[in-house]
Structure 1
Amino acid sequence: MASQLRSRHRHHLKLTSTVARSLSTTPPTTDSTLAHPFQDHISSVESKDQLLKSYTVTPPITPWPQRLSPKRLVSMITCQQNLDLALQIFHHAGDYHPNFRHNHDTYLAIVHKLARARAFHPMETLLTQLRQQQSNNNNNIKCGENIFITVIRNYGVSSRPTHALRTFLRIKDFGLQPSVRSLNTLLNALVQNNQFELVHALFKNCRKKFDIIPNVFTVNILVKALCKKNDVESAIRVLDEMPGMGMIPNVVTYTTVLGGYVSRGDMVGANKVFDEILDRGWVPDATTYTILMDGFCKGGQFMDAVKVMDEMEENGVEPNDVTYGVMIEAYCKEKKSGEALNLLGDMLKKKYVPNSALCCRVIDVLCEEGKVEEAGDLWKKLLKNNCTPDNAISSTLIHWLCKKGKIWEARKLFGEFESGSIPSVLMYNTLIAGMCEGGELQEAGKLWDDMMEKGCVPNAFTYNMLIKGFCKVGNPREGIRILEEMLEKSCSPNKLTYSILIEGLRDSGTEADVTKVLSMATSSGEIDIDAWGASIRKVSGNPDSEGSILEKILPQAAT
């Protein structure tokens, strides 16, 4: 991106017919004073403007509009998916389009796009350019605060609180007086990055240093910072001082304090704050109820959480996706799979999209209770509700199907998933492990081939499962061959790899096989003689043979 800015003037230059003719009629010369091929033409041009008119500059996109307004340019930048191209469009308009001048809106559009993409270096270069243009009396751009709010917010979510603060302090350099909006944006960015002391310091000095009068949103952010640093007592003091500041606390203020009590596990304090909300005649929103429910769930007071949800619905407050997530997780923890499944169904009916981890949790609990078919129905229900089950959800269900001996149902599910999505290494591993465990090595081999064809690189777990499968059916030598292939593919075996083989060689291996595997283990530094001693003795049939085998592999073991 930085190189893009440095090369923004390197558009393709096309010579007009005037220049072309001058080139064709200029005789070759050896005079060193005529080093530039366009010198004759340049000397005949009366001004810089006339020189520029001798060239046409290829625009970054075609067709390029003949008439270009700032509003049109904003639309072009906003719609452009390619960030480099968006930047080229911005520069081409300002540098080459006749009579076009950037304004606040065009700068806001490109700065917003760069900030969202975390392209902070070219964004800062543009801000410097904007400041320079403001210094030019002939091209004075009136700047708005929204540009800096965008920059501060994106520095915050990118974990750059120092840059966010620096941007806030630069606002005055652009001829603007920062308002409470930019202050609140900065304070939020600092809270996101755990800069709680700085939030307090800025709040105390905002009138004196920046001539900014805080509002209720500012105070709410301060209360949030105090609660996050577990200083609920100070948060309560701020809440009590709000009327003296000319402000009335709102539901958000009280909900934030309630959350502070919940975070420290003080449900008595949380309940008192909740009761105060009700006493003031306010209707708690879904967030307030959810925070209280979450506190009860984490404190093991599951039935209290259920009562709060019942009360919430009685008061006509609709649960949101977070509410459902909290209660579904709680039902799963209590091993109440039916209730969890019902809530997940309600969630889907209301068009909420449950996250992958939540679905996996419900599937786990259903299958633990032997309800594998219901777990399969849930997978299909997700599909019908346009919540396509991802690799994690599908892998979880495949794992349970294999564990319950339903390996061909698992294979069918894999095929359904594969028809619309690309299976991950995790999903291949899960099904290959199930097939190997069930003795279906031929099918496991087909999955392996399919995996390789799709460019999905096997890992140590994949190899281990195949090796284990062959050892299980009494063919450890095929397991050794897979180990050799594993090494050829630069996939590092681990201790489990060798343990599986050594254990597999106990019943159907030879001393030569053990020696070979031990040699490979020694080379990779994964040897574990203490754990394998019994297996080595059983393979050789001689209690004293362990030492002789080790002498061949590890000369140091004999000393």
Structure 2
Amino acid sequence: MPAMGFVPNVVTFTTNLGGYVSRHDMVGAKRVFGEILDRGWFPDVSTYTILMDGYVKQGKLVEAIKVMDEMEDNGVDANEVTYGVMIDDMVEKRYIPSSALYCKEIDVLCCEGKVEDACELWKRLLKKNCTPDNAVLGTLIYWLCKKGEMWEARKLFDQIEMSEPPDVMTYNVLISGMCEVGELGEAGRLWDDMVEKGCSPNSFTYNVLIKGFCKIGKAKEGIRILDEMFEKGCLPNKSTYAMLIEGLCDSGEEAEITRVLSMAMSSGDIDSDSWDLFLTKVVGDLDTGESVLNRILLENAD
């Protein structure tokens, strides 16, 4: 070909590789792939995807996964076509794709702004009797919430409950989304549902609720949640205290500020950044806030 003035490249060889795959000749396809590497070229995502497609169509799932691993090791990112090929071919061959594979395709679709396509993928899987697990559905709910489609996420969540109990991460994603848009009532209902079904809230759950209440000016309700955290043996972190103190300062709850700051100091989980926030928010003007600071320090003295 060079003698005819035509210089082959990765695209040329990938087209040739595709020809072998279409004829179900994976030995020839692998040989062409090897030639690409021997020439010092780097196969692109299309090259890897065509090769994987050929292996899966022949039921050689292990070989297809090896190609995908090699692609990722070489720093080539799979795209929606890659994952789509893998999932569709595997389902057609009656293999059950892994949860990780589903999540990756949904992530790729959603990162490209194709949340509706990701939802269609989920519906397609259901029609083929492939039931996505909490990890897959949690990923989809996360992206729906990020797009601001909280009630679509809620409808999807309700469908999860009909197949298997949602896990704590799935609850957390939806509770966080509801709190972000000020739907504290709905977040509370999800919380109640979570506890009723024996799914224990974790620190993240408590923190997103506290943040939600502080955001709408109800920091005192956040303190009630903080007390419940302690009752349930779930320890707050510096973010918990920072959110509460900021919220209480904004609403002028001096007595509650003192109490929360004392708890924060007793926890031993306060770093220099937290102190900067506390001093700025609580003390403010040192001339007028010095008495507040002195009282807190005296109350927490050994």
TM range (shorter): 0.7 to 0.9
1:352 aligns with 2:107: no
Query: How far apart are residue 326 of structure 1 and its match?
Result: 5.4
- Give the unaligned 5+ runs of structure 1: 1-282
Q: Residue 324 and residue 434 in structure 1: after superposition, are their counterparts in 2 closer, same or farther (change >3 A)?
A: farther
Do the aligned residues in 2 keep the contact of 1:479 with 1:501 (CA within 8 Å)? Answer: yes
Query: How far apart are residue 408 of structure 1 and its match?
Result: 0.5
1:497 aligns with 2:237: no
1:464 aligns with 2:204: no
Partner-residue secondary structure (3-state), 1:474: coil
Do the aligned residues in 2 keep the contact of 1:511 with 1:540 (CA within 8 Å)? Answer: no
Question: Hey, what's the Cα distance between the residues in 2 that align with 1:516 and 1:379?
Answer: 48
* AA in 2 matched with 1:420: S
Query: How far apart are residue 300 of structure 1 and its match?
Result: 9.9
Query: How far apart are residue 517 of structure 1 and its match?
Result: 0.8
Matches within 5 A, 1:98-109: none
* AA in 1 matched with 2:61: D
**Structure possessing the higher relative contact order (Cα contacts under 8 Å, 6 or more residues apart):** 2
Structure-2 residue corresponding to 1:441:
184
Question: Hey, what's the Cα distance between the residues in 1 that align with 2:225 and 2:89?
Answer: 48
2:135 to 392, 407, 422: 392
Query: How far apart are residue 390 of structure 1 and its match?
Result: 0.6
Matches within 5 A, 1:256-267: none
Structure-2 residue corresponding to 1:513:
256
Q: Residue 316 and residue 464 in structure 1: after superposition, are their counterparts in 2 closer, same or farther (change >3 A)?
A: closer
Question: Hey, what's the Cα distance between the residues in 2 that align with 1:317 and 1:484?
Answer: 57
Q: Residue 545 and residue 352 in structure 1: after superposition, are their counterparts in 2 closer, same or farther (change >3 A)?
A: farther
Structure-1 residue corresponding to 2:58:
318
Query: How far apart are residue 526 of structure 1 and its match?
Result: 2.2
Question: Hey, what's the Cα distance between the residues in 2 that align with 1:413 and 1:372?
Answer: 13
Query: How far apart are residue 328 of structure 1 and its match?
Result: 6.2
1:301 aligns with 2:301: no
| Deviates most, 430-439 or 516-525 | 516-525
Query: How far apart are residue 467 of structure 1 and its match?
Result: 0.2
TM-score by structure 2 length? 0.76
Question: Hey, what's the Cα distance between the residues in 1 that align with 2:197 and 2:208?
Answer: 20
Question: Hey, what's the Cα distance between the residues in 2 that align with 1:431 and 1:530?
Answer: 29
Question: Hey, what's the Cα distance between the residues in 2 that align with 1:312 and 1:419?
Answer: 34
Question: Hey, what's the Cα distance between the residues in 2 that align with 1:435 and 1:500?
Answer: 18
Query: How far apart are residue 355 of structure 1 and its match?
Result: 0.8
Q: Residue 311 and residue 396 in structure 1: after superposition, are their counterparts in 2 closer, same or farther (change >3 A)?
A: closer
Matches within 5 A, 1:47-58: none
Q: Residue 432 and residue 311 in structure 1: after superposition, are their counterparts in 2 closer, same or farther (change >3 A)?
A: closer
Structure-1 residue corresponding to 2:4:
none
Do the aligned residues in 1 keep the contact of 2:223 with 2:244 (CA within 8 Å)? Answer: yes
Question: Hey, what's the Cα distance between the residues in 2 that align with 1:336 and 1:543?
Answer: 56
Do the aligned residues in 2 keep the contact of 1:403 with 1:434 (CA within 8 Å)? Answer: yes
Question: Hey, what's the Cα distance between the residues in 2 that align with 1:509 and 1:354?
Answer: 54
Query: How far apart are residue 484 of structure 1 and its match?
Result: 0.9
Indicate the percent of aligned positions where both proteins have the same amino acid. 52
Structure-2 residue corresponding to 1:426:
169
Do the aligned residues in 2 keep the contact of 1:402 with 1:410 (CA within 8 Å)? Answer: yes
Query: How far apart are residue 451 of structure 1 and its match?
Result: 0.6
Question: Hey, what's the Cα distance between the residues in 2 that align with 1:533 and 1:545?
Answer: 17
Q: Residue 480 and residue 498 in structure 1: after superposition, are their counterparts in 2 closer, same or farther (change >3 A)?
A: same
Calculate the aligned-residue CA RMSD, in Å. 3.6
Matches within 5 A, 1:54-133: none
Question: Hey, what's the Cα distance between the residues in 2 that align with 1:307 and 1:328?
Answer: 7
1:365 aligns with 2:108: yes
Question: Hey, what's the Cα distance between the residues in 2 that align with 1:364 and 1:316?
Answer: 22
Question: Hey, what's the Cα distance between the residues in 2 that align with 1:312 and 1:430?
Answer: 34
| Deviates most, 350-359 or 541-550 | 541-550
Do the aligned residues in 1 keep the contact of 2:248 with 2:256 (CA within 8 Å)? Answer: yes
Query: How far apart are residue 337 of structure 1 and its match?
Result: 2.0
* AA in 1 matched with 2:241: Y
Question: Hey, what's the Cα distance between the residues in 2 that align with 1:510 and 1:540?
Answer: 13
> Larger radius of gyration, structure 1 or 2?
1
Partner-residue secondary structure (3-state), 2:206: helix
Query: How far apart are residue 536 of structure 1 and its match?
Result: 4.2
Query: How far apart are residue 502 of structure 1 and its match?
Result: 2.1
1:376 aligns with 2:119: yes
Count of equivalent residues:
269
Do the aligned residues in 2 keep the contact of 1:363 with 1:375 (CA within 8 Å)? Answer: yes
Question: Hey, what's the Cα distance between the residues in 2 that align with 1:453 and 1:404?
Answer: 29
After superposition, the C-alpha distances for 1:401-458 in whole angstroms (9 at most, x for unaligned) are: 0011011011000000001101111111111111111111000000000011111111
Query: How far apart are residue 539 of structure 1 and its match?
Result: 4.6
| Deviates most, 337-346 or 324-333 | 324-333
Question: Hey, what's the Cα distance between the residues in 2 that align with 1:502 and 1:305?
Answer: 53
Query: How far apart are residue 393 of structure 1 and its match?
Result: 0.6
Question: Hey, what's the Cα distance between the residues in 2 that align with 1:359 and 1:316?
Answer: 16
Query: How far apart are residue 394 of structure 1 and its match?
Result: 0.7
* AA in 2 matched with 1:448: W
Q: Residue 437 and residue 322 in structure 1: after superposition, are their counterparts in 2 closer, same or farther (change >3 A)?
A: farther
* AA in 1 matched with 2:195: M
Do the aligned residues in 2 keep the contact of 1:468 with 1:500 (CA within 8 Å)? Answer: yes
Matches within 5 A, 1:518-537: 518-528=261-271, 530-537=273-280
1:451 aligns with 2:204: no
* AA in 2 matched with 1:516: R
Question: Hey, what's the Cα distance between the residues in 2 that align with 1:494 and 1:324?
Answer: 44
